[in-house]
A and B are shown apart, each in its own frame.
Chain A
């Protein structure tokens, strides 16, 4: 699949999905005016991509500073897609970065990790 890059905007994160290298990352803030319009196409891309990488290894990085609840739902959706990919035979390594002393983002990392039984999850302070 072709790589997808969306630069960070005032209210939406940088999306760097390097499908050809099996490296996906998102960073910045996420409270778009229309979360469905922003995340919907990304969720579709991710689902289609995960179908094509069975037996391979995927690196995912989330380096988010803030997201609103509509975006949180979309992130949970992404995490569930990744979990399904592992069940279908892909190795997924997910790293969740949070800033030192940012308890909110650290706790979100813990929340999401509780949903993961098969994805290799790492919580990293930066």
Chain B
């Protein structure tokens, strides 16, 4: 049972084109290690250099968003760099295109402004996304967001089609948020 259950899980992942899927507490160290494996895999597959840069960038921004914004998070006071946060991040390829999915639990009151930001970004064409990026990169007035607005715009900028996102209220306080990006 043990082997057959896990073999089935592995086969299902393979059929979905999953390169890797991580579910659980993620640290900056795990971000680095997964990113390293992702770069090596793409390089061995002789992926075009611009595609590699785009996939890697989407992966890093999504992983950092989990670390910084997941509601399920642990850190010691003054040890922000050692924060660990729970979420799921999956990278795969389908018909020759890469995709990256991230998901994590958020407080409902934080999910509302995030949804508004994502809807704004999804409504922009590539030229609009670029203009919005250039506006936000110069914006130093928003320290509370740790640069999250720019991260979301960067993700949309590297995508080859509009970003997909979804929110599911899981109880009175919390919402599960996820985003899928095709590169």
Contacts and interface: CB of A to CB of B under 8 A. Distances in A.
**Chains A and B belong together in one complex:** yes
Contact of A68 (B57, B133, B138): B57
Contacts of B128: none
A114 interface: yes
B80 interface: yes
A117 interface: no
A102 B81 contact: no
Contacts of A115: 138
Contacts of B54: 104
A33 B49 CA distance: 24
Interface residues of B, number: 26
B61 interface: yes
Interface residues of A, number: 22
A104 B53 contact: yes
Contacts of B134: 111, 114
B148 to A, nearest CB: 9
Interface stretch (A14-22, A49-57, A70-78): A70-78
Nearest to A110: B130
Contacts of A33: 28, 81
Given A66-B57, A76-B138, A102 B49 contact: yes
26 contacts: A10-B32, A34-B80, A34-B81, A66-B56, A66-B57, A68-B60, A68-B61, A69-B150, A69-B151, A69-B154, A70-B146, A70-B147, A72-B150, A72-B154, A73-B147, A76-B137, A99-B49, A101-B48, A101-B50, A102-B49, A103-B50, A104-B53, A104-B54, A111-B130, A114-B134, A115-B138
Interface of B: 28, 32, 48-50, 53-54, 56-57, 60-61, 64, 80-81, 130, 133-134, 137-138, 140, 146-147, 150-151, 154, 158
